[in-house]
Each structure stands twice: as structure tokens, then as C-alpha cells.
Structure 1
Amino acid sequence: MKPQFLIAAPHSGAGKTTVTLGIIRALHNRRLAIQSFKCGPDYLDPKLHTIASGKTGINLDRFMMDDAHISSVYNAYGNDADVLITEGVMGLFDGSVKMEGSSADLAGFLNIPVVLIVNAKAMAYSVAALLLGFKLLRKDIHIAGVIFNFVERESHYQLLKAAAEDVGIRALGFLPKNEGMQIPSRHLGLKTGSEIDHEVIIEQAAEHIQKHIDLDELMRITAAPFFPSSFPLPLIAKGQRKILIARDEAFNFLYAENIRILAGLGQVSYFSPLKDTVLPAADLIYLPGGYPELHLGTLSANTALKQQLVSYYEHGGKFLAECGGMMYLGQYIADEEGRQFPMTGILDVSTSMQQKKLSLGYKRMLIGGTELRGHEFHYSHFTEIPPQEQDIQVWNARDEALQTPVFKTDQVLASYLHFYFGNRAAAIEKLLFG
């Protein structure tokens, strides 16, 4: 038995991530080993989890991963943990299609209890109806407790607590608003860059949680059976291939399991398109997504590295590029004012941040009989839509066929899609190396 639970909310904006970070750090400060997970494809929240716990935050996603893989990853990373904490995504029942792939879907599959974070600033006894609806919608989901957020007075909390007790849900405390534990956001989520002192914010959140929330009761009511796993987690390199991964402030949307799989295909090392002027030797260069649009001047001005990337390509070098990485391989990226910043020019395509429009959602891609899954989340767009290759098919989560440009040659696999290939090692090796 281990305390393990999923932190969810009725809707986005209830303070779920901040409360999650505060609970992780508060328990970590008790010298407990905390393993955190994030429901869904989000890259940014797991980074914050890692800061809070000192252990890598891991994604769990029921669209991109098969069930056996989810179980293996959850149990393997949880082997050495005292407490397992999963942060939900959006509202508890919000999925790609109705509640498919939702936080509730994951909690039901893992058979772990749910702790609800409710923004109760403007609510009193009516919260009973909300809690009862969440409790009854799915019988396989156990809502073990509730934390009321943005509640300023004890008298207000007592009204909310009575409502929770009347529907059979344990109230674990309330949190007054605390300006010191707010993490600023940008267009893809909470900021995770060096411009924010996350350590200070997370520690303040932990102190706030410790003061107002009954953590002992939280761990008691969420204890559930845990099944250890022999799933291999070490990043053990195999073979002589050199796999080079871009990782800096511009390119950092990386799944830990993707890195583990790539490490099984060769020797993994890292470089910075922002700072490095010498390109290390490589058999494959992985350019993940991130925020290239925030660093256009620096990326464009690093002509020494761009020229070496072009030379690498001209001599048969291979690329895997996702979203921002694909944009970097193009001719130029235009900022919101329309200023064009030359990139590597390897792909005959250009992208722009003008007239931003959100493209969001799961995708399934079939390339020559090999299926990959992933997620799109970007505001940029192609300046001219390139043609879709005939032998590549793309569908969304509703199995609707899409006209989504994908670049696939013997040397390049690139698109706006962020791939998850943690459970498809053979497929990704076939596509990248033949």
C-alpha cells in the first residue's frame, strides 16, 4: 500500500498545478520520495514537478500510450517512491472525445483515488451539487477528498465542508489566495524558463499547503495497492550510433520516455542551437519543439551552427524535427510583426507567428504502414501550405482524416506533431534508420 492519487478539478483555472506543486514539495520536505506524473501530453507541468520533487516528472496519456505501457511506466517509476502524485488535465472528465483520455479515464484505469481542487471563491452550500455530480458520474472513480481553493475565511470553509460531508466527500482544508505562489503563463502554458524563480514560488506554495491542508489525512485516505515493476528504466546505450538532441531555452519539449527509447538506439548527447557554435558528430539529430519564436534573433544570428547543420544534411545526416524543431529547419520564421528571421533553410518551407491561431489536438499518423501517435499544440502556421505526401495519412482523435503536411525523406521526418514513441521503439527505429 502506498499513498497515490490524482489531483483534478472541475475545470481549468482552479489552481490545480500550483496546489499540486505545493503538495509535492511539502511532502518532499518531509523527506518522502515523491514520484509525480502528468495526465496528458503537457511538457511544461512535468518540468515544474521535477523542480518540486527532485525526480523527473513523467507523462501518462491514454491516447498516445497503450495500457500495458502506462502500467509499466507508472509502476516502474513508482517503485522507489513513498508517494505517487498524478496531476490531471483540464476538468476531471474532459477528454479528447467526451471523457476518453481524461483524468477520470486515467484514474479509473490505474485504480487510484481522486482529490478535487475546487475554486470556491463564489460558492457556498451549492458546492454540494457540484461534488455530488462529480461523485456519481462514473462509479469506477473514487473521489477521496476535496480541497477548496481561493477561500479567505474559516466561516466560509465551514459552509463548504458541511456540503462536502453531506455528499460523502472528505474536506481536507481550504487555501486563501496567495499572490506569492502564482506562476506567470505564456501562450503554451505556465512559464518554465530561467526568467522565473520557480524554487521560491514552489517553496511558498509548500508552506501555504502545509499551513492549511491536512496532509496526514490526505495520505491516509489515498493509500492504495501498488504493484512493483521490472520495467527497464536506465538510459542504457546500445550500438555505436550517435544521437544528438537539441536542448536549451528554445528547444526543450522532451518526453523522458522518448529519451529512454533513443538511448536504446545509440549514444545520446545534447547541444544548444542558441549557444553552441560547433556541431558534435551525429548519426541522428533530434530537434524537439519548444519556444523558438522567443529567441528568433539569437537563433538566426548563430550562422556558424546553421552552416554546420546544412553541411551535416548535405553529407547525408538525418533529422527528426517536431514543431519548433521543424520551424528551425525551414527557410525563415516571421515574428508577430512580420519580420523574417532566416533559419537553416534545409526544408523548403517557412512559418510565421503573425495572425496567431491555436492548433491543438491529438493526431495519429501512418507512414508506410508504421503508425505513430502524438499531439499538436502551436500558434504558428505555414506561410504557404506545403503539399501532403501521398503515402502519409493523418487522423485526429475522432478518426477524421486530416490534410496535415508531413516531411518524410530518407533523411528527414518533420512535422508540427510532437511524437510520443516511448512504446514504439521498433517503429521509430525503422522510420529513422531503415
Structure 2
Amino acid sequence: MPQFLIAAPSSGSGKTTVTLGLLRALANRGLKVQPFKCGPDYLDPMHHKIAGKNTSINLDTFMASKGHVKQLYQKYASEAEVSIAEGVMGLFDGAEKMQGSSAEIAALLGVPVILVINANAMAYSAAALIYGFKNFNKNIALKGVIFNNVKTASHYTFLQDACLDVNVEALGYLPPQEDITIPSRHLGLSTSSDIDFDALCERIAASISNTVDLDRLLEITTGPVLNVETPVPSVKLPAKKPKIAVAFDEAFSFTYHENLEAFLRLGEVTLFSPLADEFLPECDLLYFAGGYPELFLEQLSQNKSMLHAVRTYCQRGGKTYAECGGMMYLGKSVIDTTGKEFEMVNFLHLTSSMENPKLHLGYRNIAIQDFVIKGHEFHYSTCLELENTAILPCIITNAKGVAVPSSVYKKQQTIASYLHLYWGENTGFILRILNGTI
């Protein structure tokens, strides 16, 4: 079947725009399209789902084993008619050299690469760029190029000549258009409900269908899907299925599909909204993912019934796990960018501040007790530890093994941190929380 990875020389080249347009254009043909996203990103998969009308799956060779990534790809790709993976950053950019890069994933899965190049102010010099990306690593099969920001058809002829001379197909281009620009926000692409992403995807798809040879793209990327053995689960499931309540709304939505799938393997999952609901579902484990609570501070703060329900649950020893925005919500308060303070659950001895935002970003290894789990950190807020803040003993390092100034907090049966963890491959971490052994 047709399968390929959309990559680029660098971030900002147009990977996401091209990916969304291709997903929608092919879905409009009646094809079942399976989106994937390389790396730990949450926002791109949300938009993939809108564009391709199918859940997007993260592929990350830092947070998960290569075997797990291959199994995920086979599982979801084998149920589709076309598979499209969007790369992360530049093609060869990884946590350390190529580790976790789009190139590593393309080679691992045996899928060809389609390169997106921002051709603004570029003509025949594209040949040298394409030649370098084609020949830098022989494990990568660069099959074609789609150019972005091509102003005229005559401009495109120079780019076609460049492709011809390095024996890589020019598949088409996107002209610069204001109405297909993807809005940005402080943590990346926007998730605001006031933006009609469905209509945006239609506009991008229409543009791509006019100037990109979709039939040729599908033809040159057709090949067999990776075939790997399905592993036998090694984790012993609880005798009685636990009830797991997952906060999921516009404020809390940054979680991996496979993390939720792991919850479903363990027990019964109920979604609820800290923004709109008044009460908690009955549960044995309460999970708050990260997200954009800082954009909904007034609404969260005014939902006194939910704040009280969560605080009471935690105070009574209810098992709770919270990540990033979820941790901010469980704290005493959150201070917005103007210095205004909003009361939150007031269980953890923490206050989070969006004043003077500073980016904290990177992969993380977390060694707790006798096991290691991996994830990443991505936030602009600062955590202000108050008196009596309890910190869980653990060692946190980045992708190169260097210690980072992050903490995991624990109070009674509640565990929280800025870290987004991946347990889709191994549910042992969640079982330890359920068993009260962390």
C-alpha cells in the first residue's frame, strides 16, 4: 500500500501544512488514511485526526523501544489503505544526533521519505540541498519532493530541473496563500475551538490537489507494510478491573492514544471535564493529563463543585496521577501572564506562574525505585514550591544522561510533575500507582 514519511530540512518548512492537506485530500477520495506523528508531539496528532478522520499515533524511538514502534506501525497501518507519518524537526534531527529522528523512524519502518522544502528565495540551488539529503544516509529512501512557497509556475520549473539532475521526483508545490496558514500559539499550533480546522484542512487539500501529483505520489510510495510478531503481554493484569477517570477537555488533552489504550487494557475508563462537570466519576485512579489550563483559569477556578470534589478525593487518599497542566490544576493556584492569581484545587503545596514565561523542553529519563520510565518535558510556566512540599526521591536526566532540575511531587496517594510519561509499552508504572507502591 502507499506509505511515506513527510520530512523537511528544518522546522518551519511546511511539513504540517502539507501533511494536513494530503490527509484530507486522500480521505476525500474515499481512502482510509492512517496518520502517524514522529516524536512526543500532542498537537499535530489532534489536527491529523481532523484532517484524516482517523486517530493519529505517535512513533517515538526515545520513549519506547524500536520493537514497540514497529508493532504500533504494523497494527495501525495494516488497517488502512494509505499511511502518512509526519516527521519531527529536520529529517536527521534527534535527541542525540539521529536518535529518535524522523530518519531513524523511516529506516526502522522501511518507509520512503517525501521531503518538503521551503522554496521561497530558492531556485536551482535546491539541487545541492536535495542531493545532500538523498545521499547523507543510505538507509533513507528519498523518493520525492514537494516544494512550499512557490510563487509561480515558472519558479517551479527551476525546482523541477534541480530534482531531475539529482534523480529525485518533483511531485508538485504549494503557492503562498494566507488562507492556508496554520495559526500559532505559545506552545505550538493552536487548539482553540474558535478556529475551524476542518475548513482549513479543506482549503489546504484543494490547493494541494491543484498543484501536487497525488496519483504519482501514491504510485512511487507503494510497498509492503512492515511485518513483525505481536508480543505476548508480560504484565499481570489486576484480578478486578479498576475504574480509571481521565480528565479530558479543552484544558486537559495532552495524552498519548497508546496511554489511553493501556488504561483500557487495565480497567474501565471514564472521561470527564474539569471545565464543565460538577462531580468526579467513581474511580480507583484519577488521571489529569497536561494541556492548556492557563487558557481557562477563570472557568476552572469558578467550577467550585469540581475543585471541591477533586480536593476531597485526594485528601481521602484517592490514587491520583497528574502531568504538567494537571499538576498545575492540583496546586494552590495559578498566576497568569498579567500577575492575576486564580485558585485551583489547593491540594498540592504548589503555585504555578505564567509570569515571565520560560521554555523548558526535552526528553527525560526518570528513575524511581528500581525502574525507569521515559517521557518529555514541555512547558513555559514556573512551579513555586510552598512550605511542606513533598518531593518523591528519584533521578531525572535528559536524553544525554545529564541531570535536570525537575521534580516529582507526592502527597498521600497523589503523584504529580511537569513530566509527560509514556506507558503505552509497559503498564507497570500505572500498576505501581494503583497498588500504592510508589
TM-score range, shorter chain: over 0.9
Mapping of residues 74-113 of structure 1, within 5 Å:
74-113=73-112
Q: How does 1:19-418 map to 2 (within 5 A)?
A: 19-227=18-226, 231=230, 239-384=240-385, 389=391, 391-409=393-411, 411-418=413-420
1:223, distance to aligned residue in structure 2 (A)? 1.3
Task: Report if the CA contact (8 A) 1:237-1:267 is conserved.
Answer: no
Change (3 A) 1:238 1:180: farther
SS in 2 for 1:171: strand
Bigger CA drift: 177-186 or 55-64?
A: 177-186
Preserved contact between residue 115 and residue 146 of structure 1 (Cα < 8 Å): yes
SS at match of 1:398: coil
**Matched residue SS, 1:382:** strand
Q: Is the Cα contact below 8 Å between 2:392 and 2:408 reproduced in 1?
A: no
* Deviation (angstroms), 1:390: 6.5
**Equivalent residue letter for 1:30:** R
CA distance in 1, matches of 2:84, 2:303: 41
Moved more, 317-326 or 277-286: 277-286
SS in 2 for 1:147: strand
Q: CA–CA distance in 2 between the matches of 1:231 and 1:269?
A: 28
Q: Distance in 2 between matches of 1:360 and 1:3?
A: 34
**Cα displacement string for residues 22-58 of structure 1 (whole angstroms, at most 9, x for unaligned residues):** 0011111111110010000000100111111111001
In the aligned structure 2, how far is the partner of 1:55 from the partner of 1:269?
Answer: 21
Is the CA contact (8 Å cut-off) linking 1:238 and 1:266 kept in structure 2?
A: no
For 2:39 and 2:267, the matched residues in 1 are separated by: 28
Structure 1, residues 335-388: CA drift from partner, whole Å, max 9, x if none? Answer: 011111111111111110001000000001011112111111100011248878
Residues 6 and 112 of structure 1 are in contact (CA less than 8 Å); yes or no, is this contact kept in structure 2? yes
Instruction: Output one character per residue of 1:114-157: Cα deviation in whole Å (capped at 9) or x when no partner.
Output: 00000001001111111111111111111100011110111111
Deviation at 1:214, TM superposition (A): 0.5
CA gap 1:3/1:388 in 2 versus in 1, 3 angstroms: farther
Distance in 2, matches of 1:124 and 1:403, equals: 46
Q: Distance in 1 between matches of 2:303 and 2:376?
A: 29
User: Kindly tell me: are residues 390 and 377 of structure 1, through their superposed partners in 2, closer, same or farther at Cα, counting changes over 3 Å?
Assistant: closer
TM-score normalised according to structure 2 size:
0.95
Partner SS state of residue 350, structure 2: coil
Q: Partners of 1:21 and 1:245 in 2: how far apart?
A: 28
Counterpart in the other structure of 1:420 = 422
**Distance (Å, rounded) in 1 between the aligned partners of 2:239 and 2:158:** 60
Structure 2, gaps ≥5 residues long: 232-236
CA contact (8 A) 2:70 2:226 kept: no
More deviation in 171-180 or 384-393? 384-393
Question: Match of 2:148, as an amino acid?
Answer: N
Q: Which amino acid aligns with 2:323?
A: E
Unaligned stretches of 5+ in structure 1? none
Matched to 1:334, the amino acid is I
Distance in 2, Cα, partners of 1:388 & 1:269: 29
CA distance 1:252–1:388, shift in 2 (3 Å): same
Q: What number of residue pairs does the alignment pair up?
A: 430
Deviates more, 1:287-296 or 1:313-322: 313-322
Distance 1:228 1:399 in 2: 33
Give the Cα–Cα distance (whole angstroms) in 2 for the partners of residues 431 and 90 of structure 1: 34
Letter in 2 for 1:213: V
Residues 351 and 386 in structure 2, CA contact (< 8 A), matched pair in contact too: no
- Deviation of 1:229 after TM superposition, in Å, equals 6.2
Partners of 1:95 and 1:388 in 2: CA distance: 34
Equivalent pair of 1:388/1:403 in contact (CA under 8 Å): no
d(CA) in 1 for partners of 2:47, 2:105: 21
Asked whether the equivalents of residues 146 and 169 of structure 1 are also in contact (C-alpha less than 8 Å), the reply is yes
- What SS is found at the alignment partner of 2:4? strand
State the Cα distance separating 1:278 from its structure 2 match: 1.6
Q: Percent identity?
A: 49
User: Structure 2: how far apart are the matches of 1:81 and 1:410?
Assistant: 45
